[in-house]
Amino acid sequence: MQLRHARSILFLPASNMRAIAKARTLPCDMVILDLEDAVADDAKDAARDNAIAALAEGFGQRIAAVRINVEGVPTHGAEMVALKGAAADYVILPKVEHPKQVKDVFSVSQKPVIAMIESAKGVMAAAAIAAGEGCAGLFMGNNDLRQDLGIPASAGREGLMVAMQQVVLAARAAGIAVFDGVYNRLDDMAGLEAECAAGHAIGFDGKTLIHPAQVPVANAIFGPDAQALADARRLIEAATGGAERFEGRMIESMHVEEAKALIARAEAVGE
């Protein structure tokens, strides 16, 4: 599966083998084995070994990645080296504020890197990061970004909107994938659905998640629905080239390409 086709990206503590095993039964498109926030300092070495073993076992058709720790954390170097020979598709690098951070991880691990944008500096450098060597995608780190910007945890996402749109623009200009940040309220599926819809509306490819129960919502919002697919197929069949009328609206080659991309996305996720 291409990274841009991923709808649901599930973070799992690499220290929790039970959660890792369960992930192989879930309908998520991408699994991230987390060595950073989800793992205590004294458990990071063991979690790294767990992650390498889990990657060797595989996750079926799901994209598999590992979130490592940032430079300055004692385990950072060992994690990069371990991933060089591991079966990970991507390395997730948190707290990125400069393209060199991505380049360094890419050089050592030899894996494409997804950069997490979690600060004002990261947002301002997002275009350079996205266009830099080794960068395959961007993740929003909205919890840390909110704190860096001084936005209360109780506030909505209005204060983050400019930053999110800037990150989406950076990714699109570089031709790479971009994903919305996590939703923290585990028992609020209506809120998750609304946040997924808002993220989808400004151009995110999918949603990063922190609980298996959130996966179906992200899949539904970011996956093409049956009506949209039917419309896309009719449009492609009807198009003859150039600008023309189709079901009460004007279409041209751009709309045909959009329809083809929608169908390709649906096929990639089995819809």
Q: Check which CATH number belongs to the domain holding 89 and give it.
A: 3.20.20.60
What is the average pLDDT across 28-40? Answer: 95
DSSP element (H, E) containing 131: helix 126-131
Indicate if 154 and 259 belong to the same structural domain: no
The two tokens of residue 33 are: 């084995």
Looking at the fold, whether 244 and 190 belong to one and the same domain comes out as no
- Kindly state whether residues 165 and 254 are assigned to the same domain: no
Number of Cβ atoms within 10 Å of the Cβ of 87: 13
Q: Please tell me whether residues 130 and 259 are part of one structural domain.
A: no
Is there a single domain that holds both residue 157 and residue 243?
A: no
**CA–CA separation, 219 vs 245, rounded Å?**
32
* Whether residue 271 has pLDDT greater than 80: no
d(CA 172, CA 16): 35
Average pLDDT, the chain: 94
Coil, strand or helix at 135: strand
Total tally of structural domains belonging to the chain: 2
Q: Hey, what are 61's tokens?
A: 């058709």
Q: Note whether 18 and 60 are same-domain residues.
A: yes
Last residue of a domain, one of 222, 238, 257: 222
Residues 143 and 237 in one domain: no
* pLDDT at residue 270 is higher than 90: no
- 149-152's contacts with Cβ under 8 Å and 24+ in sequence apart are 149/120
Give the tens place of pLDDT for each residue, 186-205: 999 999 999 999 999 999 99
Q: What is the 3-state secondary structure (H, E, C) of 141-177?
A: CHHHHHHHHCCCCCCCCHHHHHHHHHHHHHHHHHCCE
Same domain, 216 and 234: no
Helix orientation angle between 99-109 and 76-84, rounded to the nearest 10 degrees: 50
With cut-offs at 50, 70 and 90, classify the pLDDT of residue 255. confident
Residue 182 backbone dihedrals phi, psi, to 5 degrees: -75, 160
Percent of all residues in the chain with a pLDDT value above 70, rounded to a whole number: 100
Residues 124 and 258 in one domain: no
What is the domain extent for residue 258? 226-268
Mean pLDDT of 27-36: 97
Query: Based on the domain organization, do 145 and 260 belong to the same domain?
Result: no
CB 7 within 8 A of CB 180: no
167 and 83, same domain (yes or no): yes
At residue 155 the predicted structure's pLDDT band, cuts being 50, 70 and 90, is confident
Q: Strands (DSSP E) along the chain, which ranges?
A: 8-13, 30-34, 63-67, 90-93, 113-117, 135-140, 177-180, 206-209, 244-246, 249-251
Q: Do 214 and 188 have their domain in common?
A: yes
Residue 23 has pLDDT above 90, yes or no: yes
Secondary structure (3-state) at 192: helix
